[in-house]
């Protein structure tokens, strides 16, 4: 039995039905879905996503990333994406392990490993695919197997997580991971801008103010921000506002006008228009559709 099959069996065993499942392992979540699902809008946080069965498509701006048991996905910054589960069925559900990336762990591992800095001349896209090696899949299987012996998790889970991260930083995605780990890289400067927008997304801003927080010139920030996220800072803010409003309507049963106002829209008609443009349906109809999806697939 291949490592991918072993990983699929473990994910299926610890996923109680379709949805997003937290685990006793730090930063590890399991995802299971038994049918294809279109247009999953979410703010994806820095993570590595390893698919054991089925496949998923992620859309960021004008780029499409498809991954399956042969390829894993790394996300280096918080970025709004559209995800689609492409191949999934009752007999062969989509199964994925997601490990959120911890900058402090990556930084410490880089220092301890003695690896040289992996710096690019300019930041690259925040999403990247790589081949899933047998060693990486084997480490993921051993990490999940610790759920059978929870007393071992505090001691052994950090060791296996370090092994997974080490294999990642030794691979072709080293530059993306270096951006996460080190505070003064160009990628981290863009990350600072993203963090500032996330904290202040309800309020208008200008590029000079944002660039000052990122410690870059406005022109450099605009160029690098678009390379990393495939959108401008203002487009990023708009998508973040709309996703937050969607979450308020879904999770707190807010009406559309109240949700729009809560995220910074003064005009209900403008909010409804931009909402429908992003999500493909007006707020009321979109939220009704989302309520029919399994937990964890309802968007941000």
- The answer to whether position 300 is within a domain reads no
For residues 286 and 175, state if they share a domain.
no
- The answer to whether position 176 is within a domain reads yes
Q: What sections of the chain are H helices per DSSP?
A: 3-13, 103-113, 134-145, 153-169, 174-181, 186-199, 207-214, 218-229, 233-252, 256-262, 268-279, 283-290
pLDDT at position 299 over 60: no
pLDDT digit string (tens) for 8-49?
Answer: 999 999 998 899 999 999 999 999 999 998 888 888 999 999
Q: For residue 5, give Cα distances in angstroms to 66, 96, 141, 261, 267.
A: 19, 12, 10, 48, 51
pLDDT digit string (tens) for 220-236?
Answer: 999 989 988 999 999 99
For residues 157 and 222, state if they share a domain.
no
Q: Residue 250 is part of a domain; what is its CATH number?
A: 1.10.10.60
Predicted TM-score (pTM) of the model is: 0.86
For residues 146 and 273, state if they share a domain.
no
Range(s) of the domain holding residue 32: 3-181
For residues 212 and 240, state if they share a domain.
no
pLDDT at position 300 over 50: no
Q: Residue 170 is part of a domain; what is its CATH number?
A: 2.60.120.10
Residues counted in the chain: 300
Name the 3-class secondary structure at 159: helix
65 Ramachandran zone, left/alpha/beta (phi>0; psi -120 to 50)? beta
Residue 200: per-residue pLDDT = 93
Mean pLDDT computed over 147-169? 95
**Residue 205's pLDDT band (boundaries 50, 70, 90)?**
confident
For residues 22 and 171, state if they share a domain.
yes
For residues 78 and 117, state if they share a domain.
yes
Average of per-residue pLDDT values in the chain: 90
pLDDT at position 124 over 80: no
Q: For residue 50, give Cα distances in angstroms to 83, 102, 114, 133, 188.
A: 15, 17, 26, 11, 24
For residues 159 and 252, state if they share a domain.
no
Vertex 184 angle, CA 180 and 185, to 5°:
60
Residue where the block lists tokens 């280096």 = 76
Structure tokens given for 177: 């991971």
Number of domains present in the structure of the chain: 3
Kindly state the percentage of the chain with pLDDT values over 70: 95
- The answer to whether position 258 is within a domain reads yes
Structure letter (DSSP) for residue 40: E
């Amino acid at each position: 039995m291949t490592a991918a099959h072993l990983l699929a069996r473990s994910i299926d065993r610890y996923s109680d039905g379709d949805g997003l499942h937290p685990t006793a392992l730090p930063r590890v979540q399991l995802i299971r879905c038994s049918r294809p699902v279109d247009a999953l809008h979410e703010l994806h946080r820095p993570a590595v996503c390893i698919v054991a069965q089925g496949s998923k498509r992620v859309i960021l701006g004008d780029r499409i990333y498809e991954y399956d048991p042969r390829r894993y996905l790394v996300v280096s910054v918080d970025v709004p994406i559209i995800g689609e589960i492409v191949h999934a069925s009752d007999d062969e559900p989509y199964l994925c392990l997601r490990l959120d990336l911890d900058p402090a762990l990556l930084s410490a591992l880089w220092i301890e490993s003695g690896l040289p800095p992996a710096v690019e001349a300019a930041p690259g896209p925040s999403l990247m695919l790589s081949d899933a090696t047998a060693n990486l899949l084997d480490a993921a299987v051993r990490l999940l197997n610790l759920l059978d012996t929870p007393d071992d998790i505090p001691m052994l889970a950090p060791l296996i997580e370090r092994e997974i991260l080490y294999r990642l930083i030794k691979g072709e995605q080293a530059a993306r991971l270096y951006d996460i780990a080190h505070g003064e890289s160009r990628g981290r400067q863009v990350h600072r801008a993203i963090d500032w927008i996330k904290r202040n997304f309800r309020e208008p801003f200008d590029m000079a103010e944002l660039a000052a927080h990122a410690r870059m010139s406005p022109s450099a920030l605009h160029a690098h921000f678009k390379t990393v996220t495939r959108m401008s800072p203002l487009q990023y803010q708009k998508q973040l506002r709309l996703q937050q409003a969607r979450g308020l309507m879904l999770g707190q049963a807010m009406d559309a006008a109240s949700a729009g106002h809560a995220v910074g829209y003064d005009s209900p008609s403008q909010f409804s228009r931009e909402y429908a443009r992003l999500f493909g349906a007006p707020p009321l109809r979109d939220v009704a559709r989302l309520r029919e999806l399994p937990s964890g697939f309802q968007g941000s």
